[in-house]
Structure 1
Amino acid sequence: MPSADRRLEPRRKPRQVRAELTRERILAAAAHVFVEHGYAAGTTNRIAERAGISIGSLYQYYPNKDAILAELLVRHIDRGRWTGADELDLSPGSLAAAVRALVQDAIHNHRDDPQLLRIMIEEAPRSRELLDTIDRHSRLRVGHLRDLLARHPDVRVRDLDMAADLILFTVEVNTHKVLADQRSVSVESLENELVDMVTRYLRGDR
């Protein structure tokens, strides 16, 4: 992965409510502009105009549009936690339902705006914050899933750490790929195929 670039770091971390609201307006405006005009034509001038602020005010928070897109991706990653995992049924015979909950959560976290998702995946630069967030998010998610797999009686894999890592990578990458695709795709088919594949792997089906 490319090395971090300090040019991509936000210039100002809001400490007051007003400043935080301004930053939220910039990020929301940028998301609209990138989707409407594309990333190349999504200039900081257009973002500032959409946010209703001066270009000078925008530059108080972000040095360029790359830094804005990087922060949008940081937030996307941080939002992608498996909600409701602690409430799953872990009784015998419930493995497929648990896997479906994992897949559905991943789909939910990626389907809000497929076009913006595609832009973030293909064009977001790698800031230090982004690299750190990816690493932290990955370790937390793998550890959480590993603990869940260890408690489920239907799981039959030799290496729980490797299994958790492989499953999350498979689900995340394929969800990203399908939902960021501009062609019409069947989300239902994606869900069903991922659930069948992961469930068979975890049960040790041959």
Structure 2
Amino acid sequence: MNDALDPLAIARQPTQRRARARFERILAEAEKLLTEAGLSGFSIPLLAERLGYPRGSIYAYFPTPYAILNELVARHLAALETLFDAQAQRLRSLGWREGIAAAIDIGVAYHNRHPAARILILGGAVTDASFRAQEQTHRRLGELARRVWGHEMDLPEREPEAATLAVDIGMACFRRSFYAHGRITPAYRNAAIAAMIGFLEPYAVPVRPRRATRRTNRRSPSQTEGEQT
């Protein structure tokens, strides 16, 4: 990550296998605790108690609770990006309007399946590190949209970055649903689709009408011979 970020908010990645296993176990239990207790009930002392670890063994990898939360944010964002990348060809084949609906459905399914992702991604950035991770992911998803639907849309890379803004708009609908209902409801799923399509409509490349085939009045050889006889 960027050197300007607070090092206490960033996990210290282990290299040895045994340490890596403990690192992963800490994160798995942290996600359970976050899901059960929310951000207000999340703490390293409580996490250590649940794991049966001394606190120092957690602080060795995660200097603060924010380091744990930021690592979870990064992992969920990476998982989302991988899902969209894997579906790029299918999304392209659907056309941009239906493709956006399908992309929204991927995001809805992921967030509704992972409560911790809803808390960390839709609940708002925990630190500068998580904010930057989310912004970078939105930008990469915007770049993916340009690659997938670039033949149907004129999406400029210069500011304003229309594709990235479209992702931001969809996520804003997700966040509103999370605040109101704790999950993404069908109504807000539909709102996200309508908002993104409405925003991107001006960038759609008009479909060129097919040229009509010119018909000639040429007579067939049989017709010509019949007239001559």
Distance in structure 2 (CA, Å) of the matches to 1:192 and 1:18:
46
Aligned to 1:170: 169
Displacement after TM superposition at 1:165 (Å):
1.9
- Equivalent positions of 1:122-201 (< 5 A) are 122=124, 124-127=126-129, 130=130, 133-152=133-152, 155=153, 159-161=155-157, 162-178=161-177, 180-181=178-179, 183=181, 187-201=185-199
Displacement after TM superposition at 1:36 (Å):
2.5
Displacement after TM superposition at 1:18 (Å):
2.2
Distance in structure 2 (CA, Å) of the matches to 1:114 and 1:138:
20
Distance in structure 2 (CA, Å) of the matches to 1:126 and 1:150:
32
Distance in structure 1 (CA, Å) of the matches to 2:138 and 2:196:
18
Distance in structure 1 (CA, Å) of the matches to 2:72 and 2:171:
18
Displacement after TM superposition at 1:33 (Å):
1.8
Structure 2 residue ranges without an equivalent (≥5): 205-229
- Contact kept, 8 Å, 2:10 with 2:66, in 1: the verdict is no
Distance in structure 2 (CA, Å) of the matches to 1:113 and 1:55:
27
Amino acid at match of 2:52: G
When the two chains are superposed, the root-mean-square deviation of aligned CA atoms in Å is: 2.8
Aligned to 2:102: 101
Displacement after TM superposition at 1:58 (Å):
0.9
Distance in structure 2 (CA, Å) of the matches to 1:27 and 1:43:
13
Distance in structure 2 (CA, Å) of the matches to 1:70 and 1:186:
22
> Does the C-alpha gap of structure 1 residues 48 and 116 become closer, same or farther in structure 2, counting only changes over 3 Å?
farther
How many positions carry a matched residue from both structures? 193
Amino acid at match of 2:39: Y
1:87 aligns with 2:87: no
> Does the C-alpha gap of structure 1 residues 133 and 197 become closer, same or farther in structure 2, counting only changes over 3 Å?
closer
Amino acid at match of 1:111: N
Displacement after TM superposition at 1:114 (Å):
3.8
- Equivalent positions of 1:20-39 (< 5 A) are 20-39=20-39
How high is the TM-score relative to the length of structure 1?
Answer: 0.77
Q: Which has the higher contact order (CA 8 A, sep 6+)?
A: 1
**Counterpart secondary structure, 2:150:** helix
Displacement after TM superposition at 1:26 (Å):
0.9
Displacement after TM superposition at 1:150 (Å):
1.6
Aligned to 1:52: 52
Instruction: List per-residue Cα deviations over 1:95-149 (Å, max 9, x = no partner).
Output: 332111111122123223446633563461223xx45533542332111111222
| Structure whose alpha-carbon radius of gyration is higher | 2
Amino acid at match of 1:191: R
- Contact kept, 8 Å, 1:34 with 1:116, in 2: the verdict is no
Amino acid at match of 1:36: E
- Contact kept, 8 Å, 2:92 with 2:149, in 1: the verdict is no
**Counterpart secondary structure, 1:53:** coil
Which of 106-115 and 142-151 deviates more? 106-115
Distance in structure 2 (CA, Å) of the matches to 1:110 and 1:58:
27
> Does the C-alpha gap of structure 1 residues 174 and 9 become closer, same or farther in structure 2, counting only changes over 3 Å?
same
